Structure 1
Amino acid sequence: MGRLLPIIICLCGVSVASGQERLSLTDSLQYRVGFQTTLSAGDNTPLWLNANKYGLSSLKTTNGYVRGAVERPLSADDGRCWGLGYGVDVAVATGFTSTLVVQQAYVEGRWQKGVLTVGAKEYPMELKNQELSTGSQTLGINARPIPQVRIALPDYWTIPITGNWLALKGHVAFGKTTDDNWQEKFVAPRQRYTDGTLYHSKAGYLKVGPKNITLELGLELATQFGGTSYLYENGVEKVYKNDGGLKAFKNALFMSGSDATDGDFRNAEGNHLGSWVARLNFDQPAWNLGLYADQFFEDHSMLTHFNKSGDKYMRYDFKDWMLGAELKLKHNPWLQNIVIEYLYTKYQAGPVYHDETSNIHHQISGRDNYYNHHLFTGWQHWGQVMGNPLYLSPLYNSDGNIEVCHNRFVAWHLGLSGTPLSNLHYRFLATWQKSYGSYYYLPPNPEENTSLLAEVSYRLRQGWSLNGAFAMDSGKLRGDNYGIQLSIVKTIK
């Protein structure tokens, strides 16, 4: 019996000190209600009042919502070998792409360190500061969550035989987008749209080093597949019912197969994209410095930076990067975090594209056209890109075209934050961007833009908090926009 007691405690979640033997699914509940309003002057809501809010935002100059949520976090069962959690998060909005927004609705279970989640949930970015970064290029926080089934190792698990030197985490997920009705309403006649698009993402991260210098390496991959694509070719509507069976799920998982429109030039089935990511951390008693990189790619060529055609190899340059640095000052409340980022996306495997033919015996495979695809409406959900918002989201398009027209750009970004008082927090963002359009959309001249944000959050007693922000855009890319955003939130734990 003595040997079985630890096992029984683990399985039943018994707290010996308290004598608690049963789990209550209504304990540790957290409630949140809130109100937000945004008022702007110009053509659109300024960038940083709209971006990186998990899609719960709008470009319309007057918008707002009332929001309510209830959640039982998995952390309520941290003392057990297993745990159960769930959440529902709903907003009633005005000036948005829909009036009723089910932002989150999920259930999840944990066994040891593994977690299974079913439903729509907001997931944070990896290896980047959540409030100061411009955003991850593949798995960002700019669009509404996609309902999915997700198996994850969310926190680093140390590999036992490595002497605490190696740890890993990651996830695999399959889901389905929910913006079919929005696409049909937004799209102009004779423009491409899709119905029932399926979604797949996976990522793995390896952490090296147990002490004050650590290196994190990761690969993030994502795919859009299945559903029905409505295209117009030479003025004639063409409808393609993409494969959504088990074979299509396998092809999404392993980046294989081919699309119905490929013909003699076979590519992987669906819209495949991803990022190589890395972060080097230096942790000291008074500060922490992180240097990170996010190298985006759209197909196999930029995934490996090599392309084999016959007996010849083509090497692609390492030009398209997001490079960043984050400095945390541990004992300086007035300025706690500093983020600097540089983005360059002009290369995209080069300006030339062709497949191997009987006359041209070498495949070039350039003009990757980031966040776009010939069959699908690109890396977007409800009009917002699902990666970094400096790629101009389709919501900005006034011609009813669901496409990212500005994906070749150079940008610099600065983010600052601090907590000068225990209940007062601020952040400041400044971004400069110069866009060259895309290989398929060439503006007469490059279009520049400067975007600023100043935001202050104040915590009151009894779970109340106030948030006020001022933001602006200046330039031809997004127009001259000015706006304020006010929110009030009440949290009960």
Structure 2
Amino acid sequence: MKFLAVILTCISLTVIAQQNPQKKFNYQFELGGFFSLTNKLPFWQASNQYGSIPSDLPAFMCRQSIKTKKDTLNKFFKFDYGFEAVTILGKKPQILLPEAFLCTKLGKFEFYVGRRKEMFGIVDTLMSSGSISWSGNAMPIPKVQIGMPNYSKLFFKWLSVKGTFSHGWFGDQRFAKSYFLHQKTLFFKIGKPTSKMNLYGGIVHNVQWGGMPKVPLAQGDDRLLNGRFPQDWFVYGNVVLPMKNLWKHSPKFASYNAFETTNHFGNHLGSVDAAAEFKIKKSRLLVYKQFIFEDGQLFGLTNTDDGLYGLSFTPKPESSFKKVVFEYLFTKNQGRYEAGLARLLGLKDRHPNEENFLFNHQQYFDGWSYNRQTIGTPFLTPEENLRSEKQIDNGYVFINNNRVWAVYAGLLNQIGVIRFSNRLSYSKNFGNTSLLGKVIVPVVQISYSVNTIIPLKRLKADLNVNISVDHGDLIKDNFGTFVSIIKKW
């Protein structure tokens, strides 16, 4: 019945799109199929697809999306909506809704509720390997969000700001349920729109909090409070403002267990970003660094080595090369040693020998994931995706391989009317020494993908062809293809 409902919805949306001459919305229909040698998606076919991918191959996919095309009301008050349905037919049929939201805009501010495709952090959003703490890798988490999505002037012509504040629901995951997401972002831009150089800086702060475990924990376990993870307004205050000195003098602070008070209540992680943009005639160069943090270690300069380093170059519009991106990811510190910046400045290590255990957590065993897909950078690979000999056979661990360094190159180019996007990555993977004492002998992984868009004039549609290859000792060698027809109205 669910498949019938989706099919009927698809047909009705197609009819509406064809019959509506005013075109107040964009409608897109895509029909295609997947095939691979291992019956699993290759790395770059699975990564950064907002969770709308089949779990087993071969599989066929029908994707339909509808979004507002232009403002439906006056310029100050705007109403937007978006809906995307993905039907997958194969060994494991699925109906996925990666996007379904309603959005109201009042001037520079907006408020939305639902699922919406987003990427937070300063990166090249088109060809990046993925923002380090919040990329487009997992299915969007349902939430309510208020904010300024675009840079707006603040006090001076050369200073702009944007930011968001949201509350989300993780729902029912494998090891925990009914827990929440708190997320806020704040970014500043220094420089006028006409300036040759602009500077950027900001923060992405994410927190998993509240809810209850679905696996048995011992009576009196200090991770629990009355059988669940603490959630009340005092806890929420600590989640929003995780400053221990602000809360520790409250009589209520002492009523919570040591696990919570030590970890600032919940699982905190995010990034502090810095970037510089240079405009050279009609070309654009963006240089950026995302410093990843967990539990406040970044502000002690303990693990500033870790993070995503990037360079994006956008040539003149008339060039056949549309965009070139180079990135370097490093996550081997995680509090294990004092970072180079701290040593250079002669600062004392405020968190000696405190390991981060990145993207994993001792309360939320599902880790930094949603529906078993990594929310952040895809290079921190879920345990279940590794070769069997690289797994540690511990069902409570989401990511074993979280000590990584990787180099990545993305190229967007066009030959005639045919568009190509290329992704190539080379990573060295070190597992995690914190997990049951097992260390992965460093292994290399290479993955490549090329996606081609070929216009079909007679059909007024596009032929989409993707070819991806994996080779290395972290995940199984693989070759996969995806072919689809995309029609837009």
Aligned pair partner of 1:428 in 408, 422, 429: 422
Residues 1:95 and 1:439: Cα distance change in structure 2 (over 3 Å): farther
Which aligned pairs between 1:258-273 and structure 2 lie closer than 5 A? 262-263=258-259, 266-273=262-269
For the pair 1:167 / 2:160, whether they are aligned, the reply is yes
Whole-Å Cα distance in 2 between the matches of residues 440 and 429 of structure 1? Answer: 31
Structure 1 regions of 5+ residues with no counterpart? 1-23, 184-192, 307-314, 353-361
Deviations 1:132-185 (A, max 9, x none): 2110011211000111000010010012x31x21001010110102453xx2xx
CA distance in structure 2 between the partners assigned to 1:294 and 1:97 by the alignment? 37
Residues 452 and 472 in structure 1, CA contact (< 8 A), matched pair in contact too: yes
- What is the aligned partner in structure 1 of residue 468 from structure 2? 471
The amino acid of 1:203's aligned partner reads: T
Is contact 1:149–1:175 with CA below 8 Å preserved after alignment? Answer: yes
How do residues 55-134 of structure 1 correspond to structure 2 at under 5 angstroms? 55-73=51-69, 75-77=70-72, 80-94=75-89, 99-134=94-129
Cα gap change, 1:279 to 1:113, in 2 (>3 Å): same
Give CA-to-partner distance per residue, 1:295-350, whole Å, 9 cap, x none: 11111122x1x2xxxxxxxx525211211111111145321211111111100011
Name the count of aligned residue pairs.
Answer: 434
Residues 43, 86 of structure 1: alpha-carbon distance in 2 compared, 3 angstrom cutoff? closer
1:436 and 1:417 mapped to 2: Cα distance? 31
- Aligned match of 1:223 in 199, 202, 207? 207
Query: SS at 1:83's partner residue?
Result: strand
Counterpart in 1 of 2:482?
Answer: 485
- Equivalent residue for 1:335? 321
After superposing the two structures, state which structure 1 stretch, 435-444 or 48-57, moved more: 435-444
Contact 1:66 1:93 in 2 (8 A): yes
CA distance in 2, matches of 1:301, 1:466: 48
Given residue 196 of structure 1, which amino acid in structure 2 is its aligned partner? S
Distance 1:95 1:283 in 2: 48
What residue number does 2:379 align with?
390
**1: CA distance between counterparts of 2:108 and 2:96?**
31
- What root-mean-square deviation, in Å, do the aligned CA atoms of Structure 1 and Structure 2 show? 2.8
The reply to whether residue 369 of structure 1 matches residue 357 of structure 2 is yes
Per the alignment, residue 16 of structure 2 pairs with none
Letter aligned with residue 378 of structure 2:
P
Where does 1:156-235 land on structure 2 (aligned, <5 Å)? 156-159=151-154, 161-162=155-156, 164-180=157-173, 183=174, 193-210=175-192, 211-231=195-215
1:396 alignment partner AA: N
Deviation at 1:366, TM superposition (A): 1.6
Q: For residues 184-240 of structure 1, what are the alpha-carbon distances to aligned partners after superposition, in whole Å with 9 as ceiling and x for unaligned?
A: xxxxxxxxx111221111111100011120011110110111111234568999974
The one-letter amino acid of 1:409's match is: V
Write the distance in 2 (CA, Å) between the matches of 1:120 and 1:351.
39
Aligned AA for 2:377? N
Contact between 2:335 and 2:351, CA under 8 Å: does it hold in 1?
A: no
User: Using the alignment, how far apart are the partners of 2:162 and 2:406 within structure 1?
Assistant: 30
User: Per the alignment, do residues 459 and 130 of structure 1 end up closer, same or farther by CA in structure 2, a change over 3 Å counting?
Assistant: farther
Structure-2 separation of matches of 1:345 and 1:408:
5
What secondary structure sits across from 1:54 in the alignment? Answer: coil
Asked whether the equivalents of residues 40 and 56 of structure 2 are also in contact (C-alpha less than 8 Å), the reply is yes
The normalised TM-score by structure 2 is: 0.82
Aligned AA for 2:358? Y
Q: CA deviation at 1:124?
A: 3.6
Give the whole-Å Cα distance in 1 for the aligned partners of 2:273 and 2:328.
14
Distance 2:467 2:275 in 1: 31
Compared with structure 1, are the counterparts of its residues 220 and 489 closer, same or farther at alpha carbon in structure 2 (3 Å cutoff)?
same
Question: Distance in 1 between the 2:461 and 2:172 partners?
Answer: 33
Closer/same/farther in 2, CA of residues 39 and 131 from structure 1, 3 Å limit: farther
Q: Distance in 2 between matches of 1:36 and 1:448?
A: 32
Quote how far apart the aligned CAs of 1:404 are: 0.9
| Other structure's SS at 1:247 match | helix
Uncovered stretches (5+) of structure 2, i.e. residues with no partner: 1-19, 248-252, 339-349
Counterpart residue type for residue 477 of structure 2:
D
Q: What do the CA deviations read for 1:84-130 (whole angstroms, capped 9, x no partner)?
A: 01122112213587712122111110000100001111114443223
Aligned residue number for residue 49 of structure 2:
53
Aligned: 1:410 with 2:392? no
Aligned to 1:378: 367
- Kindly, what percent of the aligned residue pairs are identical? 23
Q: Which residue of 2 aligns with 1:6?
A: none
- The separation in 1 between residues aligned to 2:159 and 2:61, in whole angstroms, is 45
1:247 aligned residue: 234
Asked if the contact 1:449/1:474 (under 8 Å) is kept, the reply is: yes
Q: Which residue of 1 aligns with 2:345?
A: none
Partners of 2:99 and 2:304 in 1: how far apart? 38
Q: Per the alignment, do residues 111 and 262 of structure 1 end up closer, same or farther by CA in structure 2, a change over 3 Å counting?
A: same
